[in-house]
Amino acid sequence: MKILVAVKRVIDYNVKPRVKSDGSGIDLAGVKMSMNPFDEIAVEEAVRLKEKGAATEVIALSCGVTQCQETLRTAMAIGADRAILVETAVELQPLAVAKLLKAIVDKEQPALVILGKQAIDDDCNQTGQMLAALLDRPQATFASKVEVADGKARVTREVDGGLETLSLTLPAIITTDLRLNEPRYVTLPNIMKAKKKPLEMVKPEALAVDVAPRITTLKVTEPPGRKAGIKVPDVAALVDKLKNEAKVI
């Protein structure tokens, strides 16, 4: 069985993003970039399924600028067998990414596609669902446990009322939640091995996919700073302020 894992290059989660002075977007100059944490969990899960014997090959896929090769090398250091980069300088939105993924899925025919549930830069949480719709394949989102056997995937996901378990007939799409696993530490020997693994590069034009943005960002602003809190002497004073000043009750 072949597993395809989509990964995205984003600003490292430890870095505080800076808005450009003209408000046109986020300043990426000199900013540390890394793999989206949810995608890292997706790669780890795919590698674990291969180690259990449920899969024979893990392919990492990324869409974006040339520097995404670094992210794909990290995925291969975790355990992916090879990688594909759909190289483009165009700002990719979820629908465009889903169409690119569909084109690669049609070519590679993986039995399972695993994605992070969302990226920490745009928080869209759309690509996995859009891909499932385009491919007309079953999907399970926000997976906290995945088991694959006998042509089916058994996925446990967290919902408001507790846990929900779904059974999917492969081929299928799965998006990962934080509690699915803890990604392994990437060792130096594996980083060196990843440099020798194959990395294929293609252009959106070669896949016959239009990646032109459908949504225009008008302005990006930082959230307003939080006001300092105040202390109240008793419950009555708290209720009075909530009612008459904050007007929330």
| Alpha-helix runs per DSSP H in the chain | 37-51, 68-78, 94-108, 127-135, 188-194, 235-244
CA angle in degrees (0–180, nearest 5) for 139-156-179: 105
130: Cβ contacts below 8 Å, ≥ 6 apart:
94, 95, 98
Note the pLDDT tens digit of each residue in 58-101: 999 999 999 999 999 999 999 999 999 999 988 899 999 999 99
Q: What is residue 27's predicted lDDT score, i.e. its pLDDT?
A: 85
Query: For residue 238, what are the CA distances in angstroms to 209, 228, 231?
Result: 57, 16, 9
Question: What is the domain extent for residue 84?
Answer: 2-244
Q: Is 17 inside a domain boundary?
A: yes
Q: Write out pLDDT tens, residues 6-30.
A: 999 999 988 888 888 888 888 888 8
Say if 168 falls within a structural domain: yes
Residue 118 is given by DSSP the state -
Name the DSSP letter for residue 228.
Answer: P
The residue to which tokens 């300088």 are assigned: 89
Q: Is the pLDDT of residue 107 over 90?
A: yes
Report the domain count for the chain: 1
The answer, yes or no, to whether residue 2 has pLDDT greater than 90, is yes
In the chain, the percentage of residues whose pLDDT exceeds 70 is: 100
Look at strands 172-176 and 139-149 and give their pairing. Answer: parallel
Looking at the domain assignment, is residue 249 inside a domain?
no
Q: Has residue 159 got a pLDDT over 90? A: no
- In a domain, residue 159? The reply is yes
Q: Coil, strand or helix: which one is 2?
A: strand
For residue 220, what is the domain's CATH number?
A: 3.40.50.620
* 202 located within any domain: yes
Task: Decide: 31 and 138 in contact? Cβ < 8 Å.
Answer: no
